[in-house]
Chain A
């Protein structure tokens, strides 16, 4: 066997070997994502949850909890031009609308400096204040409301 031919055969066998080994590697890499589907796949159907109807402010469960949103917020514009939440909850508007006014803690920048108006870092209200649905708790739990808030 010529040296050249031998090398060629070795290369061929190696290539086949790698080819045979590859599927195993791919299988090991196929991690199941938490979202349960590929990113490009259509969104999973959300549960058939209903938003709770408009009601008076909901009680808080722990100290420093951001108050929950006791009404629907579907279609509310919060963009660079306009913040729908602040159209009722700002200090200039709450008397007329009867809404809860924004906490003074929102008038501080991240260094703790007091500002004369709402800090832009508080702009996206729904990051912390969330509307509620009729969904059941995901796991059984014995959570108790903070003592001072009962």
Chain B
């Protein structure tokens, strides 16, 4: 067969412009389909279709300001837990495939089991948000545009002090959307839990 010796361009030219248009259309359909399917998994509805989410973290989140508030502007599950940029989003999605294994094995399928794992799961998210400088918070709360003159007495003071120390949102704002794991606060009998240094990391300068 002489066809094997032809270059790709020659083949395409041979197949004619019809084939080129067809390939392009197929590309559009496949890429569109892939993106559509991906975005399907990026909705609150999809997230709470698993009772693990519906019964635990979603119930906690319903009591918070990101679920219901004065103006109805909301942050749903993927707004905080899935990066918006394509690259980090793909990485997060691939890592999240581990959750399918957890789902099949029923690692957190009761509130009791979930609370057993709460510390580990929370630490995963804290580590992730710390690593990307709380990017998902800052997608909406851009602190460069904070107007301190209309912030409350406490937030005004703490935000400026925190940023001066190089802190990021998650350093202080842990547990704003879900219940926290047990935290050591020195009330009553001693117990195990998240250490105070974990909940309130010291500023980078003071650690050295």
Contacts and interface: CB of A to CB of B under 8 A. Distances in A.
Tell whether A and B belong to one assembly: yes
User: Which of the listed residues A55, A71, A87, A123 has the most CB atoms from chain B within 10 Å of its own CB?
Assistant: A87
Contacts of A93: 200
A82 B187 contact: no
A118 B64 contact: no
B188 A75 contact: no
B187 A117 contact: yes
Contacts, number: 58
Contacts of B182: 80-82
B65 interface: yes
B110 interface: no
A92 B158 CA distance: 17
Main secondary structure on B side of the interface with A? loop
Contacts of B65: 75
A75 B157 contact: no
A70 to B, nearest CB: 9
Interface string B183-208: 10111110001001001100000000
Contacts of A27: none
A79 interface: yes
Interface string A109-144: 000000001111011000000000000000000000
Contact of B152 (A71, A79, A120): A71
Interface residues of A, number: 27
B135 to A, nearest CB: 24
Contacts of B185: 82-83, 86-87, 90
A77 B187 contact: no
Interface string B55-82: 0000000011100000000000000000
A92 B188 contact: no
Interface of B: 63-65, 152-154, 157-158, 175, 179-183, 185-189, 193, 196, 199-200
The 8 closest A-B pairs by CB, nearest first: A120-B188, A54-B153, A54-B152, A82-B180, A117-B186, A118-B187, A81-B182, A82-B183
